[in-house]
Amino acid sequence: MTPPPTPRDRVLRYAFMKLARDLDARFESLLLTGRISKWYSEIGHEGVTVPAGLALEAGDVLCSLHRDLGAILACYLDPARTFPDLGFGEPDGRRPDPDAVLYRLACQLLGKGEGFSQGVERSFHYGWLAPEHGIFHAGMISHLGAMIPVAAGCALARRLAGTDRVAITFIGEGGTSTGDFHEGLNMAAVWKLPLVLVVENNRYAFSTPAYMQFAAERLSDRGPGYGVAAVNVDGNDPDAMAAAYARAFARAREGWGPTLIEAMIGRMRGHSEGDDSLKVVPSEEHRRYVAEDPVPGYARQLEAAGLLDAERRAGIDARIAELVERALDGALAAHEPARETAWRPALAPAPELPPPPPPPVPSGRPGDRTSYVDAIHQALVEEMERDPQVILMGQDIGRFEGAFRVTRGLWQRWPERVLDTPIAESGALGIAAGAALLGFRPVVEMQFGDFITCGFNQIVNVLAKLYYRWQLPCPVVVRLPSGGGVGAGPFHSQNPEAWFTHVAGLKVVCPATARDAKGLLKAAIRDPNPVIFCEHKFLYRRIRDELPAGDLCEPLGVAKVLREGSDLTLVGYGASTWTAVAAAEELAKEGVRAEVVDLRTLVPFDEETVLASVRRTGRVLVVHEAQQTGGFGGEVAARIADAAFAFLDAPVRRVAYPDRPVPYARSLEQELLPSAHRVLNAARELLAW
């Protein structure tokens, strides 16, 4: 049984609800006078959000959306220092001064330089780790539902760390139609993660009535289908919401898994202020919602209970006015973001790696040569042995040991750190992001690189942008078994690397050798940034190296000259490196010394090594298996033309896959793949220029 609320609890809820309401109203007026460009009002949500913020304890995680100002205030601010005349106990010395917090929050909402994101992010999209009281606040992205898996990942991190801490996140009823709602909640249920998911159901999403969004009578009815506890609560009743949170947090802390809370509230404002979307709510219905407004309604309840007389209410109002005006006056006068902030890094500084071990003395024994796929396996084993924060996630990587047996034997050694996921690429990547933000180093295997499209949003809008937005590292490695040449057809043969080289905040790695497969993967796992690690399937069991003993790490962003020459430069990566090597060997028979440069890493791009080669040879041919239009070879060619034009004796040429999907029949696939024969023909044309 949840104990009844104390008078202190109820007055505290009201005080924070009123603070949220008054701060919201002031920002609405700033919008109307043109001093901010956008405002998402929380009016009508305070009875849901404030009790949530008050339920959080040190070590818990808050993942908020547009209308969760009340939760942020109740989470950040020390009640005793915020409302010193209300008798809320001794001040919490771990929490910062409320004036300082409110000033910084106001600067954030106004886009000023002293906001949490220094003007890089808008309104509630920021993230903040508050070391003073140990609560991590992760803000939203505009793609609704995407933060549910991230919150689940934060919950996973707290559980893996051996704590009983909880993550809470919010979604509107419209956002429950997204795939991430299903993937995040389902994975949290399967893994019994300490997650509380709150649906703020104001019945109209942006402008679409609930009956046009879902056929269920209540969204909380979905809970049993996922195997989670679920409850439907009057969101205008802060006491009922507080009781629901108390039960949900207790279940989570005791290891019983997630809870879905559907909070029913009324649509009192537009989606964003001034967008006219409120017109979809019938006027009579809207009048009913206004009459049920939780802030004045709760004040009347407290007055009737003798807890809020006129004097106390006036004192609360005066204190709130003082706090709000002081914060806004300071924020309005604050400086704009420094222009150089726009240039702050999108990637966290890379760590210093150990010097490479000396190369082994070739033994000549075939059994001493390690295959490309075994080198990847070795890297995973060594990094999991070295760092207990490394965790593996992916479909069928545990008991089954992966589609290509890369993870063989790992689940048996680390069952708590080798996690089989449902078929939910977006959910797995979002969970990895949340876990990485709280100190873990997830390595996520896509069963095939082609399936990464199902998780595209989490990569390009969550993982890639986090460091630029929040200046917090997010070390996630996404392993992509990719590429063709194995007769796998159009959905198991793509080369997706160029999709991600266009996205600031990602590193993209494409090893060609077994040594690099191991050394670059170990470096990627230690890197504080998200890394897309493309493993060409054709190379898995065809390419072998004798690997040195010791801690083999190869730095990201460094290309390698595999074969020296003076007449022509062939640039490749992944399997195309070996196509270039084969062509160079044939050219050597014709007396042509072709230099082969293996890029190894596309981002960061080692421009200097490529340009140095071009300056030596004067001719360059870029080879890649990805389709020509939009392929990374176009970027290489542009960099060369821009920085080494004076050294070129012929145009930069490319040999790539034609702009076609990959056909299934091997004969058809071989017709389109960039072969050594095609490279030879292009090279001869360049040499004749």
3-state SS string for 392-434: EEECCCCCCCCCCCCCCCHHHHCCCCEEECCCCHHHHHHHHHH
Q: Which of 45, 133, 271, 492 is catalytic?
A: 492
Amino acid in position 652: V
Tokens 């979307």 belong to residue: 277
Tokens 């956002």 belong to residue: 175
Q: Put the strands of the sheet holding 441-445 in their side by side order.
A: 418-420, 390-394, 441-445, 477-482, 531-536, 507-509, 601-603
Alpha-carbon distance of 205 to 433, in angstroms, equals 27
What is the CA 513 to chain-centroid distance, rounded?
30
Amino acid in position 401: E
Alpha-carbon distance of 379 to 468, in angstroms, equals 29
Yes or no: say if 365 and 143 are a contact pair by the CB < 8 Å rule. no
Question: b/e for 32-70, b at 16 or more Cβ within 10 A?
Answer: eeeebeebbbbbbbbbbbbbbbbbbeeebbbbbbbbbbb
Rg over CA atoms, the chain: 29
Structure tokens at 582: 């084969």
Handedness of CA 241, 247, 248, 253 (dihedral sign): positive
Q: What is the DSSP letter of 451?
A: G
3-state SS string for 22-70: HHHHHHHHHHHCCCCCCCCCCCCCHHHHHHHHHHCCCCCEEECCCCCHH
**What is the reported pLDDT for 132?**
63
- The pTM score is 0.95
Q: Is 492 a catalytic residue?
A: yes
Structure tokens at 281: 């709510």
Alpha-carbon distance of 460 to 465, in angstroms, equals 7
**What is the reported pLDDT for 291?**
94
Count the helices and strands in the chain (H runs, E runs): 24, 21
The tens digit of pLDDT for each residue in 515-548 reads: 999 999 999 999 999 999 999 999 999 999 999 9
Give the DSSP per-residue string, 73-129.
HHHHS-HHHHSGGG---S--TTSPPHHHHHHHHHHHHHT-TTSTTTTSS-TT--EEE
Which residue, 58, 545, 21, 682, is CA-closest to 297? 21
Alpha-carbon distance of 464 to 114, in angstroms, equals 24
Specify the 3-state DSSP secondary structure of 284. helix
Q: Is the peptide bond before 511 cis (omega within 30 degrees of 0)?
A: no
Which residue, 634, 611, 507, 497, is CA-closest to 561? 611
Name the strand (E) or helix (H) holding 535.
Answer: strand 531-536
Residue-range domains of the chain with CATH: 7-332 (3.40.50.970), 368-545 (3.40.50.970), 560-687 (3.40.50.920)
The tens digit of pLDDT for each residue in 465-481 reads: 999 999 999 999 999 99
Yes or no: say if 563 and 595 are a contact pair by the CB < 8 Å rule. yes
Yes or no: say if 233 and 264 are a contact pair by the CB < 8 Å rule. yes
Structure tokens at 464: 């890639």
Alpha-carbon distance of 46 to 242, in angstroms, equals 12
- Cβ count near 237 (within 10 Å): 21
**Which segments in the chain show pLDDT lower than 50?**
none
